[in-house]
Amino acid sequence: KNMSFGKKDVIENIKSKAQISKYISKDFFEKFLDIVSSKSKTRIVKISSFGTFYFKTVKIKRLKKTFIKKIAK
C-alpha cells in the first residue's frame, strides 16, 4: 500500500514529534532539502532507511530540465 506525504505533512510531523514551532520545523526541512539537493548534484546521496537521491537532466520538447530523483527502496 502506498502512502504519500506532502511538504506540509512532513513539516507538521517534524513539529509534533520534535515539539518545536512550525517555523523552526519548516526551516529545518528546507535546510535538509538544500543539503540533499546540493550534494546530489555531484554524486548519489544515500540516506539509510529513507532513500537514494541524484540529479538527472532530461530533455522535454527541446528544453533541458534538471530535478532531483529519488530511487525507490
State the DSSP H helix or E strand holding residue 49, giving kind and residue range, or none if neither: none
What pLDDT score was predicted for residue 32? 92
Asked if 54 and 71 count as a contact pair (C-beta separation under 8 A), the reply is yes
Positions of the chain with pLDDT under 70 = 1-2, 58-73
Instruction: Please report, as a single letter, which amino acid is at residue 27.
Output: D
> Among residues of the chain, what percentage have pLDDT more than 70?
75
The residues, any chain, with a CB within 8 Å of residue 41's CB and separated by 6 or more, are: 55
Angstrom distances, CA of residue 58 to CA of 33, 40, 70, 71, 72: 21, 16, 15, 16, 19
